[in-house]
């Protein structure tokens, strides 16, 4: 049976909750809610007030991890102290917040049958949670072509060292060295799929995904200076399958042929081989590129 991906064109906090309810899932115990905290200066990230009804519904803890910018002066989220201040500045402290890799050592998750990685490094606090709700902002990305649910599972849940390991294709976990040994593009995409598989398996049967196609810039929320959105807002997706929800997002972009910004957005996706992350994830067997789209409007 094909996994269901629920869809609405209406983008409101209430619709987020409606799509979650359509999944028919009750996330148990202590719920980690993975968000993107938004780089300082970024104008496109989805703010806490938008996600608030959903976070409150599951009584969740907002979770994030540090970045791996190394010696590049591009952000403040690569150090715990400054990242915590930014989380407060952006209003995330309206909820319980946990920077999962604020203290080491990282947890090491094996990647059985991985394409690139043998291990994935995640914040040690991840093991404190019984279930996870992934709140993704679907948009472009300078490195991965696009970011959605799979990116939140992989780069998003990886510790700073884990991010370095993914970007370097397993060569190094140093956030200084990774940018001097960045993996070939397809290898990087496969490393993201490897890492995503470990988190999906860690919370297997106790994880759900929501992806909002709004503020569709070619740049990620991790960019302090991001390009303004180039496409019109499309809607909200929800699924229990991380591969299906990302494939559905890409399919909706390709279907938006009347949007003058479509080609610019797709140039970013295609030039970075963005679909290869989805292909690799499906090949690893923790999701399906075939799905049933269920429109709720």
Domain regions of the chain by residue span: 4-295
Confidence of residue 198 (pLDDT cuts 50, 70, 90): very high
Mean pLDDT of the chain: 96
Q: In this predicted structure, what is the pLDDT of residue 97?
A: 98
User: Residue 237 has which token pair?
Assistant: 């997706």
Is this model's pTM higher than 0.75 or not?
A: yes
- In percent, the amount of the chain with pLDDT more than 90 equals 91
Unique residue bearing structure tokens 């991010």:
163
Q: In this predicted structure, what is the pLDDT of residue 75?
A: 57
Q: Helix, strand, or coil here: 51? A: helix
Fold classification of 4-295 is Rossmann fold (3.40.50)
- Rounded CA-CA distance 169/115 in Å is 10
pLDDT tens digit sequence for 74-129: 557 878 899 999 999 999 999 999 999 998 889 999 999 999 999 999 999 999 99
Structural contact between residues 29 and 129, judged by C-beta atoms closer than 8 angstroms: yes
pLDDT tens digit sequence for 29-85: 999 999 999 999 999 999 999 999 999 999 999 999 999 875 545 557 878 899 999
Confidence of residue 168 (pLDDT cuts 50, 70, 90): very high
Helix 275-284 and helix 185-202, axial crossing angle in degrees, nearest 10: 50
């Amino acid at each position: 049976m094909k996994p269901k991906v629920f869809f609405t064109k209406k983008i409101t906090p209430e619709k987020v909750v409606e799509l979650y309810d359509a999944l028919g899932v009750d996330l148990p115990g202590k719920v980690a809610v993975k968000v993107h905290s938004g780089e300082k200066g970024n104008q496109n990230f989805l703010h806490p007030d938008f996600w608030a009804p959903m976070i409150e519904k599951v009584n969740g803890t907002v979770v994030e991890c540090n970045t791996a910018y190394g010696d590049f002066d591009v952000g403040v989220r690569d150090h715990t102290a400054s990242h915590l201040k930014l989380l407060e500045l952006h209003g995330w402290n309206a909820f319980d917040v946990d920077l999962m890799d604020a203290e080491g050592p990282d947890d090491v998750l094996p990647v059985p049958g991985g394409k690139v990685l043998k291990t994935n490094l995640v914040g040690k606090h991840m093991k404190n949670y019984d279930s996870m709700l992934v709140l993704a902002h679907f948009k472009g990305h300078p490195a991965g072509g696009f970011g959605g649910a799979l990116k939140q599972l992989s780069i998003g849940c990886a510790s700073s060292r884990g991010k370095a390991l993914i970007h370097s294709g397993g060569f190094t976990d140093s956030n200084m060295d990774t940018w001097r040994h960045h993996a070939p593009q397809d290898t990087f995409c496969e490393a993201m799929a490897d890492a995503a598989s470990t988190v999906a398996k860690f919370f297997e049967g106790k994880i759900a995904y929501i992806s909002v196609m709004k503020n569709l810039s070619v740049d990620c929320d991790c960019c302090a200076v991001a390009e303004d959105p180039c496409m019109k807002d499309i809607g909200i997706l929800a699924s229990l399958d991380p591969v299906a929800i990302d494939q559905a997002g890409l399919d909706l972009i390709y279907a938006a042929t009347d949007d003058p910004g479509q080609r610019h957005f797709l140039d970013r996706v295609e030039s970075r081989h963005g679909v290869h992350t989805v292909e690799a994830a499906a090949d690893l067997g923790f999701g399906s590129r075939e799905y049933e789209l269920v429109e709720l409007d």
